[in-house]
Amino acid sequence: MPEDYSLTAESRKLQRWTLEEARSLYERPFNDHLFHAHTLHRANFDPNRVQLSKLLNIKTGGCPEDCGYCSQSIHHLSGVKASKLMTPEQAVEEARNAKESGATRYCMGAAWRSPKPRDEATIVAMVKGVKALGLETCMTLGMLSPEQAQTFADAGLDYYNHNIDTSERFYPEVATTRTFKERLETLAYVREAGMKVCSGGILGLGESEDDRIDMLVTLANLPTPPESVPINMLIPMKGSKLADAAPIDPIAFVRIVALARVLMPRSHVRLTAGRSSMSDEMQALCFYAGANSIFIGDTLLTAANPGDDRDSSLLHRLGLTAETA
């Protein structure tokens, strides 16, 4: 076991991480970094279990925000056709299929800046309908007011996803129609309303390694770290600002997954967007590094996902089985 890389006395006392501490963990020899992350992973989870979620776009396209990576923004000519908000019946029907394919959590996303008051009753009906199937429920609808967070929590919403996506420093390069501070405010409202938090980010936006590390330090330093931390690899979307972004070094990506595990040892780390272009070996390294959640199915919100056949073959070959609810 490498020297004790655990929290320093200072961090242990405050459970706070500094960028310097996190960077020194990130930069250590790859085998030491992954061995430490895997050791922490085993101490907190069954290392051979993966939580399966399914993501559904309940309202596609036409979003007024200008997130540089997103195919659903009206600022990008991505060709994604906008759709109206689904009915609760449609969402529940899709959730039923997801449960049959092994999902324990159903995540519903809408291409909004924030839900409008007229949408809230439909969202509440979707939460109740999906919950009645015995699935954990998650919504990702953009920014929320404290009242909206409470409304959805009272309806029984289990998780709310709201990714901070990158560091506070780099955030203005990613989106200009809202601020990093507004993202953190929604996370606080979600937490105050009593829901679990799902928040992570994207690698490959043109950010520095320090930005990636700082994003994880921000999440780990929240009063309560997110229960679920999605790590996305940018999928360059046609017509978006980042359509020609350079691919990220796979080793750097795995190092970030391992750092997420070390800084947030009790959170689920979700290997999220980009898996379709990851090799099986890269995914296997991410699971060893502590990733223990994926989205199943052929598509995410608008982008491709490996699909059930490729995923079940990979999980089988790795001896990984699905977490049960």
70/78 Cα distance (integer angstroms)? 9
Which residues, including other chains, have CB under 8 Å from residue 127's CB and lie 6 or more apart?
137, 139, 152, 155, 156, 157
- Tell me the window of 5-13, 104-112, 123-131, 245-253 that interacts with ligand SAM (CB under 6 A): 104-112
Active site residue 70: yes
Q: Which of 52, 70, 198, 220 binds ligand SAM (CB under 6 A)?
A: 70
Q: Write out the binding residues for ligand SAM, residues 279-308 only, by CB under 6 A.
A: 301, 303
CB 248 → ligand SF4: shortest distance, Å?
Answer: 19
Tokens of 140: 């990702």
Which residues bind to ligand SF4, rule: CB under 6 A? 63, 65, 67, 70, 72-73, 111, 142
Contact, 228 vs 268, CB < 8 A?
A: yes
Residue 215 makes contact with ligand SAM by CB under 6 A: no
Residue 195 makes contact with ligand SAM by CB under 6 A: no
Strands 228-233 and 268-271: what pairing?
parallel
DSSP state of 117: G
Q: Which of 136, 158, 165, 207 binds ligand SAM (CB under 6 A)?
A: 165
Closest CA to 233 of 244, 221, 249: 249
Q: Of ligand SAM, ligand SF4, none, which one sits near residue 273, judging by CB under 5 to 8 A according to partner kind?
A: ligand SAM
Other residues' Cβ atoms within 10 Å of the Cβ of residue 35: 17
Residue closer to ligand SAM (CB basis): 5 or 51: 51
Q: Where are the alpha helices (H) located in 45-179, listed in sequence order?
A: 88-100, 120-131, 146-154, 171-174
Contact, 196 vs 159, CB < 8 A?
A: yes
Residue closer to ligand SF4 (CB basis): 217 or 273: 273
Residue closer to ligand SF4 (CB basis): 63 or 315: 63
Residue 226 makes contact with ligand SAM by CB under 6 A: no
Active site residue 198: yes
Contact, 211 vs 164, CB < 8 A?
A: no
Catalytic choice (183, 198, 255, 286): 198
CB 10 → ligand SF4: shortest distance, Å?
Answer: 36
Helix (H) / strand (E) containing 82: none
Mind telling me the catalytic residues? 63, 67, 70, 107, 138, 198, 270
